Amino acid sequence: MPASLAPVQSAEKVKAAAAAIDALQALVADDMREVNKTIIDRMQSPVVLIPQLAGHLIASGGKRLRPLLTLASGQLIGYEGRRHIKLAACVEFIHTATLLHDDVVDESKLRRGQETANEIWGNQASVLVGDFLFSRAFELMVEDGNLRVLAILSRASSIIAEGEVLQLTTANDLSTSEDTYLEVIAAKTAALFAAACEVTGVVSEQGEKVEEALAAYGRYLGIAFQIVDDALDYSAKQATLGKTVGDDFREGKVTLPVLLAWRRGTDDERTFWRRTMEDLDQQPGDLERAIHLMGQHNALTDTLERARHYGAMAKDALAIFPASDAKQILMGVVDFCIERGY
């Protein structure tokens, strides 16, 4: 079975990191109820399959971290308007649409411990409902009426798509550089984190410095979040998150743990990686050997250290804001995203 990723962290530290999400949810609970109502209202359609399929994913137990960040950014900067409610719903629709499309591309069967929409309703329905949710997101952007908001969120949508295509082109390619890997995750994950935070700064009209700081926080948090996700694919903790261990390995996705183990490996080990990742010639016991090699070369531990680096940058981005409960909670969210790996 997959081993733990790193030395055991103190129970107090892990508990405090987990409590950060509870604190985040409590901080914006009233606003989040409005966001949830908007999401439910806007995913309705006379075509019954649309709300049925969309509702399956939206109600599947995700933390809705991205819209929570949109709302918490408002608390951080003292925004007293209501425009960020629809924008938070818009962010969640974009995210949900990408998940529907990703599960089709990856041929995923489980998400958060439940059957994926494509497993239940098929690929065609999943792709088309994903398109519907993207359209709903753009309707919400237009309703806000701010061209900069529209530009930020529409640009994030296109960057996400570019990131997914770039990941597709790097699959099964062990010559992929770490810079290219970071380019992929900055696009497919961090772009929406950044946009989710930045748009609240735009509607608050507090200036470019605030907008840039919020965007930087979201961007670096998103990078750290995805790096940890990529490490978790080789961890027994995946089971507790409702995911299958080794999905990235089986698909030949060249993520940071693989790159580090490949770079540090012997010729014999590199032959193993070429067979399993480039040729996708995988045999019983190969996943266990991959995890063993990652442990032998500290690939998982060092992957999480990279995540800590970006997490520190996310915290640094908040330095311009005065001390507050919201700031403390957002700092704790960084710890939560990283401590998931332990």
Q: Strand runs (DSSP E) across the chain, as ranges?
A: 110-111, 114-115
Mean pLDDT of 255-273: 98
Domains in the chain: ranges and CATH? 11-339 (1.10.600.10)
Q: Tell me the C-alpha distance between 238 and 112, whole Å.
A: 10
The per-residue pLDDT for 11 is: 66
- How far are the Cα atoms of 7, 46, 233, 244 from residue 226, in angstroms, in the given order? 20, 36, 11, 16
For residue 110, the cross-strand partners are 115
Tens digits of per-residue pLDDT, 136-187? 999 999 999 999 999 999 999 999 999 999 999 999 999 999 999 999 999 9
CA dihedral for 255, 259, 260, 266, sign (positive or negative): positive
Residue 302 has pLDDT above 90, yes or no: yes
The confidence band for 341, taking pLDDT boundaries of 50, 70 and 90, is low
Q: Where do we find the tokens 């806000």?
A: 144
Say what the pLDDT of residue 238 is: 59
For 323, phi then psi, to 5°, come to: -60, 140
Candidate from 18-27, 85-94, 307-316 with smallest mean pLDDT: 18-27
Question: Predicted confidence band at 109 (pLDDT cuts at 50, 70, 90)?
Answer: confident
pLDDT computed for residue 112 by the predictor: 74
Q: Residue 7: pLDDT above 50?
A: no
The tokens describing 6, both together, are 């790193």
Token pair 């907008």 is found at 211
| Higher pLDDT among residues 241 and 201, named by residue | 201
The reply to whether the predicted model has a pTM over 0.85 is: yes
Which DSSP string corresponds to 304-339? HHHHHHHHHHHHHHGGGSPP-HHHHHHHHHHHHHHH
User: CB of 162 within 8 A of CB of 191?
Assistant: no
Residue 8 has pLDDT above 80, yes or no: no
pLDDT classification of 113: cutoffs 50, 70, 90: confident
- Residue 60: CB atoms within 10 A of its CB come to 17
